[in-house]
A and B are shown apart, each in its own frame.
Chain A
Amino acid sequence: MNSKKLQESIAEDANLSLEKVDKLMETMVDVMLGQLKDGTSVSFQGFGAFEVRRKAQRLSVNPLTKKRTIIPPKQVLVFRTGNTYKDKIKDLPRNNE
C-alpha cells in the first residue's frame, strides 16, 4: 500500500476530505519525528510504538585487510510491535512476494 492509497483509505474511513488527510498526515509525521528526535517514543495502542534506540559504538574488523575500525555510536528509529498485534499477524498466511 503506497502513501496515496493510504490517504484515500483514511479519508474514506474517517469521513475527511483528502486535502485534510494530507495535511494531517504531514503534521502528524512532523510531530512524531520531533518527539522521536528528543528521545520520546510514540505509541499507538493495540498496534505498536515507534522509538529511538541508541546503538553503542563498536569495533569492526575488515575480514580482508584485518583493519580495525571504530564504528561510532548512532541512533536508529525502530518500531516495536505491540504484543496483541504481534499475535494477530503471527498466524497470517505467508505473503507471496
Chain B
Amino acid sequence: MSKEKNKISIQELLAEIAAGSGCDRREVDSFVRSFVNVLDKGIVEDGVVKIKGFGTLKLQWNEPRKSVNVRTGEEYVIPGHNKLVFAPEANVKEMINEKYAEMKAMDVNDGVGNDENEQLAKLHSQALEIKDLLADFNKKVEKKEDKAETVERKEEVKEEVSVKEEIVATAPVVVAEEKAGEKEYVTAGGNEAVGVVAGNDDYVAPAPIEIYETGERKVPLVKKKKYSKVIDWILIAFLLVSLCGVIFYIEKETSCFSSFFGKEYADIKQYISEFGADEEENKELERQQAKERAQKAALQAREKEKRANAEKTGISDSVKYEPVEITKPKTVEQKEPAAENNADKKEKAASKNASPAKAESGEVLATVTIGKGDRLTILAEKYYGHKDYWVYIYEANRGVIKNPDAVSSGMTLKIPKLGSDKVDVNNPQTLTKAKELAKQYLKK
C-alpha cells in the first residue's frame, strides 16, 4: 500500500473515549482492559463474540492439510488449527466503504466487442460469397442473352420473308392448330429475352404479334428451325426464372436476418451497399421491367389462343369442358376418404396410446419442462406423492422419453391425471403395482 498506515495509540484512544463519553479516564482505562479480557474469554469459551454496532469475532477451525517444503521438497502436514476471523456488520461495511460507495460494477465492452467483430467478419465473408455467386450468374445470363439477340434478329428477317411467302402459299389449318401451344411458348420466351436485352423493344415487341397474325398460315419449313430456337428460349427463360428465384431467396434470407438480428441485418445492408449494390439494383429493375413485358406478351398470346380455340368448332369446347366437370367431384371424393382414413388412424393411435395407460391419457394434470437435475422420480413425488409412481409419467410420455433412466433437460413432459386406483400413497397395492411396472420398463 502506498498510503502510510496511521496508527492510533491506546492512550489516544482512551483519551478520545473519555472525551466522548464524559467518563473518568481511569474508568475508561479499566473498561478497555476488561473489554479485551472479556473478548479473549468469550472467544476461548464460546468461540464467538458479537460486538453490537461493530461486528463479530469468531473462531474458525482450519482442517489439517498437506504442504511441501519449498526448499527440500519434503511433504509435511500443517496441523489443524483455530483462526480468529472478524466479520463486520453490514452498516459498518457500508460506512467504511463510503469513499467508493458511488462506484458500481460496470460491464466491459471490449470483451464482448471482440465477439461482435468476429460475427461481423463472418457476415462480411458471407456477403462476399453471395456477391461472387451473383456475379457468376449475371455473367452466364449475359452471354446467353447475347446469343439470343443474334438468333432473334436472324429470325426476324426470316419471318418477314416467310410472311411474304405465306400470303402466296396457303398452308393447311391443322399445322397452325398444332403450333398454337408452341407459339405461346415462343412468344413468351422471346419477349422475355428481348426485355432483358432491353432498349429496342419498341421495334422488337411488335414482331411476335406479327407472327401471330400470320402464324396460322405458316410453312412447315420454319418449324424445324423454330424447334431449336424454342429450346434455346426455354433454357433462357428457365435461367431467368431461377435467377429471380435466387434473388428472392436472398432477399428472404436477409429479411430473416432482420427479424433475428436486426443490427446485423443493418450491417449486411451496409456491406452490400458498399460493394456496389447500385449495379445490382439497376439490374433488378431491368429484370422487373422485362418480366412485366413478358407477362403482357403472355397475356396477349393467351387471348389469341382463346380466340383461335373459339374459332374451332363448338363441339370440341363442350368436350373439353366436360372432363373438367367430372374431375372436380372425383378429387373431392378422393379427399374425403383420405380424411376419413386420417381420422381412423388418429383414433387407432389414440386407442393404442390409451391401452397401456388404460384411458385417462387425455387428462393432463400439468406439463413440465425438465430442468437440470430433474428426474422422473422427483416429478412423481411432487405430483403423486411417491417416487415409485414415475412409471405413469413414463407411460404418458413414451414418445419423448427414450430411456427412463436418462431424462435430459429441456424435455416437456405431460403429467397425466390418474385415479386413486393407480395412485394412492395410502394403498400399498398401487405401490407394488407401480414397482412391477417399473421393473418391466427397466428390463426393456
Contacts and interface: CB of A to CB of B under 8 A. Distances in A.
A73 B81 CA distance: 32
Contacts of A6: 38-39, 42, 49-51
A97 B47 contact: yes
Q: Which of A16, A28, A91 is packed against the most chain B CB atoms within 10 Å?
A: A28
A79 B1 contact: no
Interface string B69-107: 000000000001111111010001101111110011111
Given A32-B54, A33-B92, A72-B103, A38 B86 contact: no
Nearest to B107: A69
B57 interface: yes
A55 to B, nearest CB: 9
Give the interface residue-count category, chain B.
35 or more
A36 B90 CA distance: 15
A6 to B, nearest CB: 6
A28 B83 CA distance: 25
Interface string B362-378: 00000000000000000
Interface stretch (B8-16, B139-147, B168-176): B8-16
B17 A91 contact: no
Interface string A58-97: 0111000011111111111111010001100111101101
Interface in A23-42: 23-33, 35-42
A1 B46 CA distance: 6
Interface residues of A, number: 70
A33 B86 contact: no
Given A30-B20, A33-B95, A45-B10, A70 B106 contact: yes
Given A10-B38, A41-B5, A2 B100 contact: no
B39 A54 contact: no
Nearest to A66: B111
Nearest to A1: B42
A37 B17 contact: no
B13 A31 contact: yes
A23 to B, nearest CB: 5
B188 to A, nearest CB: 57
Contacts of A31: 13, 16-17, 20
B406 to A, nearest CB: 24
B23 A23 contact: yes
B44 A75 contact: no
Contact of A91 (B43, B81, B98, B105): B81
B332 interface: no
B40 to A, nearest CB: 7
A32 to B, nearest CB: 7
B27 to A, nearest CB: 6
B195 to A, nearest CB: 54
A22 B103 CA distance: 36
A95 B61 contact: yes
Interface of A: 1-3, 5-6, 9-10, 13-16, 20-21, 23-33, 35-48, 50-54, 59-61, 66-79, 81, 85-86, 89-92, 94-95, 97
27 contacts: A1-B42, A9-B38, A24-B17, A24-B27, A25-B51, A26-B21, A29-B52, A29-B54, A33-B54, A41-B7, A42-B8, A43-B7, A47-B36, A47-B40, A51-B5, A67-B107, A67-B112, A68-B111, A70-B106, A73-B100, A74-B103, A77-B88, A81-B84, A89-B59, A90-B82, A92-B44, A94-B82
Given A79-B85, A95-B82, 17 more contacts: A13-B38, A14-B27, A15-B30, A25-B35, A28-B17, A33-B96, A43-B10, A48-B84, A54-B3, A66-B111, A68-B108, A75-B96, A75-B99, A77-B88, A77-B93, A79-B55, A79-B84
